[in-house]
Amino acid sequence: MLESKRLTISKPKLSFAEELYRIHSNKLATRYTPKRRHKSIDDTKKMLKEWEQYWNSNSYGYFIFIEKESTNVIGSGGAKKMEFANKEYFNLYYRLDPKATGNGYAIEAMVKILNWLHYEIDNTLPFVIRTDKSNLASINLAHKLGFQKDANFDNFTDEGDVFFFKNLS
């Protein structure tokens, strides 16, 4: 669906279940979301079906990141609409295979997705990234993407959560 220099950024399909299970069951990849760690491939299949349904209803959602050179699935990410504090946002999500981190893939994918969402889907919604205060990789990515932390939202949803915002308009 989308392409960057090194990635094919594909709509979710059930055929990606095994590769995504490997990532979503990985303790390192889910260190900051242990309650969402997948215990079986059925968890991943259920997630993919939900992602596909969201896409079918909204024409956007979460993508699968595929490295062009190797054709390996290295992660996933995208956005869903979220409302909190009486405002609607594109809530960004991303998760990479730990073997693929540190290579600039997350920023490459998320810049492409951010621009696509803003210029092709809805140019009125601001963006939000919610992460754990200890997730330095995610916090660094938020900063690299130009997001600003708002301390007023610390612990807003869960203890230890921090929120970063960006408006492209």
| pLDDT 10s digits, 67-112 | 999 999 999 999 999 988 889 999 999 999 999 999 999 999 999 9
Residue 31's contacts (CB-CB under 8 Å, 6 or more residues apart) are 135
For residue 52, pLDDT over 80 is answered with yes
Q: State residue 156's pLDDT score.
A: 72
User: Which segments of 103-146 are extended strands (E)?
Assistant: 127-132
Residue 109 identity: A
Q: State residue 117's pLDDT score.
A: 96
Q: State residue 107's pLDDT score.
A: 96
Task: Calculate the CA dihedral of residues 74, 76, 77, 81 and round it to 10 degrees.
Answer: 180
Phi/psi for 9 (5° steps) reads -115, 100
Q: State residue 103's pLDDT score.
A: 95
For residue 32, pLDDT over 90 is answered with no
Q: State residue 51's pLDDT score.
A: 97
For residue 13, pLDDT over 80 is answered with yes
Domain with 73 in it: what CATH number? Answer: 3.40.630.30
For residue 25, pLDDT over 90 is answered with yes
Helix, strand or coil, per DSSP, at residue 37 = coil
- 159 CA to centre of own chain: 20
Q: How many CB atoms lie within 10 A of CB 156?
A: 13
Domain with 138 in it? 2-166
Tell me the whole-structure pTM to 2 decimals. Answer: 0.93
Helix, strand or coil, per DSSP, at residue 38 = coil
Q: What is the DSSP letter of 133?
A: T
pLDDT in tens, 123-164: 999 999 999 999 999 999 999 999 999 888 877 777 778 989
For residue 35, pLDDT over 90 is answered with no
> How far is the C-alpha of 15 from the C-alpha of 42, rounded, in Å?
13
Return the minimum-mean-pLDDT range out of 29-33, 121-125, 161-165: 29-33
Work out how many domains the chain is built from and give that number: 1
> How far is the C-alpha of 108 from the C-alpha of 92, rounded, in Å?
14
Q: How many CB atoms lie within 10 A of CB 103?
A: 13
Q: How many CB atoms lie within 10 A of CB 72?
A: 14
Judge contact between 61 and 55, C-beta under 8 A.
Answer: yes
Q: What is the DSSP letter of 54?
A: H
